[in-house]
């Protein structure tokens, strides 16, 4: 039995019908190597890989990758957009109110879309977005220490 091979970023771009460029490959690899990165951090990662790339090109590339389903855009309330490479599994997020850390949370129960709407208004639902808010362990500890 042969182990299944993971497709390269270039193969994934082609498979999604996108033109393969060094910048797009670097963009996809940067998002996947990161952890809920903002646009500035992604641009920095792309520049480390391929040299100069404009911020506008990064935004356009992220839009194309998001539309193709290769990356996911999340935008917790009051925060700038962040991007992640974990797609297709309808997971959720936990966000620290103090430092802004974002972490992945698998669905709590059931299958996608994880939550059953009390009234779906006739929609065919295929995704639910849940964001849990609170304090991460580091911020909770810091807050407790200040209270003493």
Q: Which helix (H) or strand (E) holds 132?
A: strand 131-134
Binding residues for Fe cation: 111
Binding residues: 96, 99, 111, 136, 139
* Residue 83 backbone phi and psi in degrees, to 5: -130, 145
Q: What is the DSSP string of 73-108?
A: EE--TTS--EEES--SS--EEEEETTT--EEEE--S
Binding residues for Zn(2+): 96, 99, 136, 139
């Amino acid at each position: 039995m042969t182990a299944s091979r993971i497709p390269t970023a270039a193969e994934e771009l082609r498979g999604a019908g996108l033109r393969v460029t060094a910048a797009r490959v670097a963009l996809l690899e940067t998002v996947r190597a990161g952890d809920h990165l903002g646009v500035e951090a992604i641009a920095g990662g792309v520049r480390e890989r391929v040299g100069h790339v404009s911020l506008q090109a990064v935004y356009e590339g992220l839009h194309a990758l998001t539309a193709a389903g290769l990356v996911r855009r999340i935008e917790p309330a009051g925060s700038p957009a962040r991007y992640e490479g974990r797609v297709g599994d309808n997971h959720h997020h936990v966000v620290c109110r103090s430092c802004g850390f974002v972490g992945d949370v698998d669905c709590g129960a059931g299958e996608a879309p994880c939550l059953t709407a009390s009234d779906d208004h006739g929609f065919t639902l295929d995704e639910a977005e849940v964001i849990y808010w609170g304090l991460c362990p580091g911020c909770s500890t810091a807050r407790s220490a200040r209270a003493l």
